[in-house]
Structure 1
Amino acid sequence: MLTVLENDYLKVAIAKKGAELRNIIHKQEGFDYLWQGAEGYWSKQAPNLFPIVGRLNENKYLKAGKVYEMNQHGFARDLDFEVVDVSNQTVTFSLQENTETLERYPYKFQLKITYQLEGNQLMVSYQVENNSDEEMPYSLGGHPAFHLPINGEGVFEDYQLQLSPVPEKLDYFEMDPPPYLSGRKLPLDVLNEGAIPINRDLFGAGLVMDTQGFVKQATLTSTKSKHSISLEMGDFPYLCLWTEEGVEAPFVCVEPFHGVADEYGPVGALSDKRGINSLAVSESRTHQFAMKFT
């Protein structure tokens, strides 16, 4: 069952499983901005990543001498959320710990994800609450995948991601071996006046950039299309670009991250991960990004 939000500009559908976006439809022209999956390609649309982003070494981590296992990007994307509040243009989904999650992540938590339509903008808010009796480490992120070309206008390679404000330089994390970080940052040499060309080879392993909070907006745009998609970064410090490796997949993911994959090496603790967030007992925190569609 899908929850539908709708106004004069957009029609948005969200599933209970993973609180995942399933459609973002341009009302006037009837096309979907969101990738819908296809046989032989990546099947998801916009998974929500929690309580980790990326891959752990051996899919494991340590806590107080005990080994826990958790797959890439965590478990929230695979679990059913509860709808706790809904109107025509706003919906809030909630996920809490259960027996299954405690085996992989021994913390009591509540994760609320709220989607709100305002004109041609969709805001996404994550509220994380620590209900444990100890400090709780976590990462989270969005993973929306967009059809490219947008509405069939132009071809994949006609598009670029325009960053604003324009950074003089930008670093990305070297992947070695993918999907792990090497521990080194490299300059993004393809950056040209704040624009990153959409490039399959560059994005195949995931291009994770450290925006350091400077980049506020990233816009998918092309001179061949009258349509664009803008990501307002909010407080998210990392930006990932990804498309499926080894095939000419007609989509690109523009992903705001609070956290990154492990640096390649021995199994370690979540609290030691690069970019990890931490909540004190009974503390809650809200992270937000937004998407604008033209």
Structure 2
Amino acid sequence: MITLENEELKVTIAEKGAELQSIFHKKDQFDYLWQGAEGYWSKHAPNLFPIVGRLNDNKHIKDGKIYEMNQHGFARDLEFKVGEVTPDTVELVLQANEETLNRYPYEFTLKIHYRLDKNQLAVTYCVENHSDETMPYSLGGHPAFNLPINGEGKFEDYKLHFNAGAGLESLEYFEMEPLPYMSGRKLPLTALKNGEISIDRELFGAGLVMDMEMKGRIATLYSSQSSHSITLSLGDFPYLCLWTEEGMEAPFLCVEPFHGMADEYGEVGELADKRGINLLEAGQRDGHQYVMIFDNEWEVSICYLDNFIEVYPASERELVKMKEQLLDESRVDFYVGTQHFVKKELKGVGCEGWGIQFD
């Protein structure tokens, strides 16, 4: 077991699957990461490679030969070699071997690098193709977070807020039909309201895979009942999956950056033909990263009617309270990052807009 630690967080990682085991808040003595419980899903944060989701009949074809590979691939079940370790970084490495070649006939190296910096944990993947041909692959993170966070509030009190720069007015998701496969259709996500999704067990039980359209999205899991929050900066990951165990009152939610997805239902096919697949040329390497930020603080600007601007840091919980206060108080707007909230028609204060809205 590997430990990374600073004044704020203590992180443990297993060699098997290079899987996060714990993200512990030292001051308040609780774990952000799901620790498993009898009768529930037992993993914490598996790394998914070289596929994401399920293949038709758990098989794929390469040069006319059929290979078997289970859901989410094999990386999560194999031992990684540990590279250099410092108090706040570690790199773990998996290389192709006889076992992997029997399921995935490509020579590869997968490196997973963890870096702890204050209240942030960056997860960086490096995929190298040592074959003499193009290598198709998918990749994903599968972190599960305790919900409610630190026992504050209820599961249903939480929301996922998207900070999307110019505002997020719509999202589409990929229909899963029949489970656990894709139908090939994208549908509008009507649950999205004002750039947020309310956490709903029924909505996420089957796995909700969203098309993030633009790369670089930021998603924050928060509740007005909690002083803590979890933010994921998705980097170049084009899909985001939300999942909790179907039909159970499971006290966790997985927030999963994906580079790939399950097969569309049908015949066994080639990996290169899958939706969302990455195609890595011979001798080349790819890099992907997402970052988890715990109890993120934003720099907030409050604009008053007299045109006085006040700037100070605020937590997600404080921002929610601030938004509620704006409905009744004389403050006319505020910014959260690049998000702009407006209360009423403004004149002569360098702001414009009507009603509470995202600019």
Q: Same fold (TM over 0.5)?
A: yes
Distance (whole Å) between structure 1 residues aligned to residue 103 and residue 118 of structure 2: 40
Equivalent AA in structure 1 for residue 291 of structure 2: A
SS in 2 for 1:104: coil
Distance (whole Å) between structure 2 residues aligned to residue 273 and residue 279 of structure 1: 14
Distance (whole Å) between structure 2 residues aligned to residue 281 and residue 186 of structure 1: 36
For residue 178 of structure 2, what is the aligned residue in structure 1?
A: 177
The answer to whether the 8 A contact 1:167-1:215 is kept is: no
For residue 102 of structure 1, what is the aligned residue in structure 2?
A: 101
For residue 322 of structure 2, what is the aligned residue in structure 1?
A: none
CA distances 1:207-258 after superposition (whole Å, capped 9, x unpaired):
0000022561010000000100000000000000000011100000000000
Task: Output aligned runs, 1:44-123, within 5 Å.
Answer: 44-123=43-122
Return the offset for 1:155. 0.5
Distance (whole Å) between structure 2 residues aligned to residue 233 and residue 214 of structure 1: 7
SS in 1 for 2:160: strand
For residue 31 of structure 2, what is the aligned residue in structure 1?
A: 32
The answer to whether the 8 A contact 1:213-1:236 is kept is: no
Equivalent AA in structure 2 for residue 285 of structure 1: D
TM-score by length of structure 1 reads 0.99
The answer to whether the 8 A contact 1:10-1:120 is kept is: yes
The answer to whether the 8 A contact 2:215-2:234 is kept is: no
Task: Output aligned runs, 1:196-275, within 5 Å.
Answer: 196-214=197-215, 216-275=217-276
Distance (whole Å) between structure 1 residues aligned to residue 80 and residue 135 of structure 2: 21
CA distances 1:64-121 after superposition (whole Å, capped 9, x unpaired):
1111110000000000000011100000000001111000000000000000011100
For residue 293 of structure 1, what is the aligned residue in structure 2?
A: 294
The answer to whether the 8 A contact 1:238-1:259 is kept is: yes
Return the offset for 1:168. 1.1
Return the offset for 1:167. 1.3
Moved segments of 4+, more than 3 Å: none
Aligned residues: 293
The answer to whether the 8 A contact 2:51-2:71 is kept is: yes
SS in 2 for 1:16: coil
CA distances 1:5-54 after superposition (whole Å, capped 9, x unpaired):
00111000000000000000001111000000000000000000000000
Distance (whole Å) between structure 1 residues aligned to residue 38 and residue 247 of structure 2: 15
For residue 279 of structure 1, what is the aligned residue in structure 2?
A: 280
SS in 2 for 1:67: strand
Distance (whole Å) between structure 2 residues aligned to residue 197 and residue 65 of structure 1: 46
Structure of larger gyration radius: 2
Distance (whole Å) between structure 2 residues aligned to residue 197 and residue 265 of structure 1: 33
Return the offset for 1:280. 0.8
Distance (whole Å) between structure 1 residues aligned to residue 264 and residue 211 of structure 2: 15
Equivalent AA in structure 1 for residue 23 of structure 2: I
User: Would you say 1:160 and 2:159 are equivalent positions?
Assistant: yes
Return the offset for 1:164. 1.2
Distance (whole Å) between structure 1 residues aligned to residue 204 and residue 281 of structure 2: 36
The answer to whether the 8 A contact 1:190-1:197 is kept is: yes
TM-score by length of structure 2 reads 0.81
SS in 1 for 2:102: helix
Task: Output aligned runs, 1:182-193, within 5 Å.
Answer: 182-193=183-194
User: Would you say 1:13 and 2:12 are equivalent positions?
Assistant: yes
Distance (whole Å) between structure 2 residues aligned to residue 124 and residue 214 of structure 1: 16
Distance (whole Å) between structure 1 residues aligned to residue 172 and residue 179 of structure 2: 17
The answer to whether the 8 A contact 2:216-2:235 is kept is: no
Equivalent AA in structure 2 for residue 168 of structure 1: E
The answer to whether the 8 A contact 2:35-2:44 is kept is: yes
Cα distance change, pair 214–137 in 1 and its aligned pair in 2 (3 A): closer
Distance (whole Å) between structure 2 residues aligned to residue 65 and residue 205 of structure 1: 33
Bigger shift: 163-172 or 149-158? 163-172
User: Would you say 1:151 and 2:146 are equivalent positions?
Assistant: no
Greater relative CO (CA pairs within 8 A, separation 6+): 1
Structure 1 gap ranges (5+): none
Equivalent AA in structure 1 for residue 34 of structure 2: W
Equivalent AA in structure 2 for residue 57 of structure 1: N
Distance (whole Å) between structure 1 residues aligned to residue 215 and residue 201 of structure 2: 25
